[in-house]
Amino acid sequence: MWGALARRGGRGGWRGLAAGRPPAAAAPWSQVVSEAEKIVGYPTSFMSLRCLLSDELSNIAMQVRKLVGTKHPLLDTARGFVYDSRNNLQMRGLVILLISKAAGPSTAELSFQPNMVSGIYSSQRSLAEITELIHTAFLVHRGIVNIGELKSCDGPLKDMQFGNKMAVLSGDFLLANACTSLAQLQNTKVVELISSAIGDLVQGIYYENSKLSEENCLTDDIGISTWKEQVFLSHSALLAKSCQAAMELAKHNAEIQDMAFQYGKHMSMSHKLHSDLQPFVKESSSDTVVFSLNSAPAILHQEFLGREAWIKQIREAQGKGSLMDYKKLQEAIKAGKGVTSAIDLCRYHGNRALAALESFPPSEARSALANIVHAVTRFS
C-alpha cells in the first residue's frame, strides 16, 4: 500500500500529503482534518451512499474482482478507495463545506434560511459531493492503459482490455452522477463553472499524460510559469471553481466569490508544492526515492542551473544503465537553489490563500481553513 501511495505522491494527490510525516510545528494533518470535520456538522461521507449502493457500482465491483491478479491500474485505484479511506478524507469536499460555513448566508438570503444544517446549505453539501465525484472519476480515468504500448510483462492483453472497459465505464458512471446532481442544483452559473472545471481538469491531466508517454525525453523544457499553469489546471481549477460555486449557491457577491476562488486556487497550489517537496525535505530514508523530474523543485533547479547543465546532471545520474540514480539526482537538486525556492513558492501561495481568507468574518470554519494552509506550508 505504501508503495502505491508513493507512486500517487507524484501526482500530488491528497493522499500523498496524508502519507507524509506530520509537520513538527503545525498541528498534525489528521488533527487539522478531524477538527475541521467537526465544524461542518457531520462527517463528509461523499461518494454518496446512493451511488455506492447502485446496481451499476456493485456490478462494477463484481467485475473489478476479475482483475485481481492483473496489473491494471484500476485495481490500485479501487484499492485506494477502500484501504485508504481513513487518510483519503475527501479533502476537496471538506474545504468546500468549510468555506461555505465561513461565508455563511449572504445578506440577500438573511430573511430566510431554508435547508441549512450546521450553517451550510444542502445545495452546498451536494456541491461538495459533486466535486468529490468528479475528482474520483478522473482518478479512475487517469488509470486507462494504452493497449498498443503494453509489453509482455504487463500480463494478458485481454485482462488489460477488460480493465480499460471497466475504468471507462466506472469513471463515466461517476461523471454522469455528478452531472445529474449538478443539474439538480438548478443554477446555470454553477453548472457552467463546474463544467468548465471538468474541462480544465481534462487538459491538466492531458499534460501529465503527454509527459508520461515521453519519458525518454526525461524532462519537458518548461519554466516555472508553465508549470504553474499546468498545475492550476490539473490540481487547482476544480477546487477553486467549486469554492466559487459554493458562494454562488449562497448568492454571495462577485467579490466574495472571487476570494473563495483565490483561496481554493492558492491553497491547492501550495499543497501541490508541499507534496512535490516531500522527497527533498524528509530526512532521507534508506529507500530509493523516486520523484518526478517535472516536480516543482526539479523545474526550479533547472531554472537556476540552465537547461544544459541540468541535462548533464541527469545524464550523469543515468550512468550507463537505463536506470536512473534518483539518490544522486536528489543530492544534486538539494545542493542547488531549487528546494528553497520551491519552499518559498509554497509559502507565497499559502500567504495568498490566507490573504483571501481575510475577507471572511472570523469563525471556527475560517480558522480551520487557515490551519489547512499552515499544515501545507510548514516544513520541518
Partner 1 sequence: MALRWWWRWRCGASSRRAPPLGSLPRLRLPGPGSRPPPAPSAAMCHFLQRSTILSFPKICNILWRLHHTSISQMCSCRKTISDEKYQDPFQLGRKDLKNLYEDIKKELLVSTAELREMCEYYFDGKGKAFRPMIVVLMARACNIHHNNSREMQASQRSVAVIAEMIHTASLVHDDVIDDANSRRGKMTVNQIWGERKAVLAGDFILSAASVALARIGNTTIISVLTQVIEDLVRGEFLQLGSKENENERFAHYLEKTFKKTASLIANSCKAVSILGCPDPKVHEIAYQYGKNVGIAFQLIDDVLDFTSCADHLGKPTAADLKLGLATGPVLFACRQFPEMNAMIMRRFSKPGDVERARKYVLQSDGVQQTTYLAQRYCHEATREISKLRPSPEREALIQLTEMVLLRDK
Q: Which residues bind partner 1 (CB under 8 A)?
A: 55-56, 59, 63, 138, 141, 144-149, 161, 164-165, 167-169, 171-173, 175-177, 179-180, 182-184, 186-189, 191-192, 195-196, 198-199, 202-203, 205-207, 209-210, 213
Q: How far is the CB of 125 from partner 1 (least distance, A)?
A: 19
Q: Is 312 helix (H, G, I), strand (E, B) or coil?
A: helix
Contact between residue 140 and residue 201 where contact means Cβ atoms under 8 Å apart: no
Q: How far is the CB of 57 from partner 1 (least distance, A)?
A: 10
Distance, CA of 67 to CA of 161 (rounded, Å): 10
**Given the complex with partner 1, which of 28 and 199 has the nearer CB atom?**
199
Contact between residue 241 and residue 264 where contact means Cβ atoms under 8 Å apart: yes
Contact between residue 327 and residue 291 where contact means Cβ atoms under 8 Å apart: no
**Given the complex with partner 1, which of 168 and 311 has the nearer CB atom?**
168
Contact between residue 74 and residue 145 where contact means Cβ atoms under 8 Å apart: no
**Given the complex with partner 1, which of 174 and 369 has the nearer CB atom?**
174
Q: How far is the CB of 207 from partner 1 (least distance, A)?
A: 7
Q: How far is the CB of 216 from partner 1 (least distance, A)?
A: 16
Q: How far is the CB of 96 from partner 1 (least distance, A)?
A: 19
Residues forming beta bridges with residue 5, ordered by sequence position = none
For the four alpha carbons of 312, 314, 316 and 318, in that order, the dihedral sign comes to negative
Q: How far is the CB of 136 from partner 1 (least distance, A)?
A: 13
CA dist 113 → 91, 93, 116, 184, 305 (Å):
26, 22, 6, 19, 57
**Given the complex with partner 1, which of 97 and 248 has the nearer CB atom?**
248
Q: How far is the CB of 345 from partner 1 (least distance, A)?
A: 23
**Given the complex with partner 1, which of 241 and 252 has the nearer CB atom?**
241
**Given the complex with partner 1, which of 236 and 278 has the nearer CB atom?**
236
Contact between residue 20 and residue 275 where contact means Cβ atoms under 8 Å apart: yes
DSSP string, 151-208: -GGG--HHHHHHHHHHHHHHHHHHHHHHHHHHHHT--HHHHHHHHHHHHHHHHHHHHH
**Given the complex with partner 1, which of 35 and 208 has the nearer CB atom?**
208
Neighbours of 180 (CB within 10 A): 11
